[in-house]
Amino acid sequence: MAVESEHVTADVIEAMEFPELSRRYGVRGVPKIVINETIEFVGALPESQYLAHVREAVEANGKNTM
Amino acid sequence: MGFISDADKETLRDHFADSLTGDVEIVMFTERDSPIIIPGKQPCETCTPTQELLEEVAALSDKLKLTVHEISAAKEQAFALGINRVPAFLFEGAARGRVRFFGIPSGYEFSALIADLVDVSSGATDLSEETREYLSTLTEDVNIKVFTTPN
């Protein structure tokens, strides 16, 4: 997604190397995904569900026109 | 003895030759091993292995280039790129947004690294039309954090 949009930044974080980040984001299982600090889920999802979470995060921020 | 076996290097070299279309610069931020022990400060145990692994990957294609910055000497650049911990690296290529890695990319993350290099090289993905269409309408920033472990 970060390849497709200039507005997207994707961070891949090695959870065990950065325990303070893992604690802050409550990482208990991987992959754990956190979008805009608001929407989070664990596990690899089909693309359509992943996109739904991104939409949800954007709408929760009330920032997007869509 | 490197991180990547000779057989895997051969496979990756062929994969890169087939898949990399444009140049990609891997920009890495690291911390030099210090002879001084600073109380309360953990040494960066994965900085050197991460750099060595990236050197091995970058050597597998003429289209890949690795640039390494000592974070304390490149604070402004690191800040501008949102890098606040090491080891970290990102890609400069044809991507519109930004992909950053924090920590050594071993195990699952290594596959993600290779796939991302190919995508950043071309600026294209195999995402569905629906996803790409939605992304093209974004007007505000979206940050996606993916926490992983090596296994």
Query: Count of alpha carbons within 13 Å of B98, Cβ hemisphere only?
Result: 17
- Domain extents for chain A? 1-66
Omega within 30 of 0 (cis) for the link into A19: no
3-class secondary structure, A14: strand
B2 pLDDT band, cuts 50/70/90, is confident
- For residue A8, give the nearest of B123, B128, B144 by CB distance: B144
The pLDDT assigned to B33 comes to: 75
Given the candidates 3.40.50.920, 3.60.15.10, 3.90.226.10, 3.40.30.10, the CATH classification of the domain at A1-66 is 3.40.30.10
The pLDDT assigned to A66 comes to: 42
Q: List B residues 44-73 in contact with A (Cβ-Cβ < 8 A).
A: 46
Q: Distance between CA B40 and CA B27 in Å, rounded?
A: 28
Angle between helices B6-19 and B108-122 (to 10 degrees): 30
The pLDDT assigned to B11 comes to: 98
Q: List, for residues A9-61, the tens digit of each pLDDT value.
A: 999 999 999 999 999 999 999 999 999 999 999 998 999 999 999 999 999 88
Residue A65 has pLDDT above 60, yes or no: no
Predicted complex ipTM = 0.92
**Token pair for residue B36?**
């001084």
Question: Cβ of A13 and B150 within 8 Å?
Answer: no
The pLDDT assigned to B67 comes to: 98
- Chain length of chain B: 151
The pLDDT assigned to B105 comes to: 94
The pLDDT assigned to A4 comes to: 94
Could you tell me how far CA B132 lies from the centroid of its own chain? 23
Q: List, for residues B34-80, the tens digit of each pLDDT value.
A: 777 777 777 899 999 999 999 999 999 999 999 999 999 999 999 99
Domain annotation for chain B: domains and CATH numbers: 6-136 (3.40.30.10)
Residue B145 touches chain A, beta carbons under 8 Å: yes
Q: How far off is chain A from B59, nearest CA to CA, in Å? A: 23
The pLDDT assigned to B1 comes to: 64
Residue B124 touches chain A, beta carbons under 8 Å: yes
Residue A63 has pLDDT above 80, yes or no: no
Residue B138 touches chain A, beta carbons under 8 Å: yes
- For residue B134, give the nearest of A30, A37, A51 by CB distance: A51
Hey, how many other C-beta atoms are within 10 angstroms of the C-beta on B122?
A: 16
Identify all chain B residues contacting A7, using CB atoms and an 8 Å cutoff: 97, 135, 138-142
